[in-house]
Amino acid sequence: MFSFLAGLCLGFATTMKPHMLFYEAGALGVLIVFLVREHRSSWKRSATLLLAGAAAAPVVIVLWLAKVGGLMKMVTGYLIPYYPKLWGVTASVLVW
């Protein structure tokens, strides 16, 4: 249960800062190494609970944004116009 709650906290942090995925991967690695060294047979269950908790919050947020119509606005009004400027290409490259 602790792994799920820790994953849930990491998932909510990922909704704020997407680069937290790197921290999640590190936390998962530390969890697995610790549990394997302690010869615990539940390391797969704990790792799965951590990943499930980490995925829960972003999935809920994306589903909520899709329901209220904000997801499409975010993609077409922010992501498509903004990121091509960083890469030095026109926005028409990203439209398929």
Q: What is the pLDDT of residue 40?
A: 80
In a domain, 81, yes or no: no
Please give the single-letter amino acid code of residue 19.
H
DSSP 51-92: HHHHHHHHHHHHHHHHHHTHHHHHIIIIIHHHHHHHHT--GG
Nearest to 25 by CA among 35, 14, 15: 14
Q: Tens-of-pLDDT digits for all 96 residues of the chain?
A: 788 999 999 999 998 988 888 998 998 899 889 888 988 878 889 899 999 999 999 999 999 999 998 888 888 887 777 777 776 766 666 565
Q: What is the pLDDT of residue 90?
A: 67
Q: How much is the pTM?
A: 0.71
Domain interval for residue 12: 2-67
In a domain, 17, yes or no: yes
Q: What is the pLDDT of residue 10?
A: 92
Q: What is the pLDDT of residue 96?
A: 55
In a domain, 62, yes or no: yes
In a domain, 21, yes or no: yes
How many domains does the chain divide into?
A: 1
In a domain, 94, yes or no: no
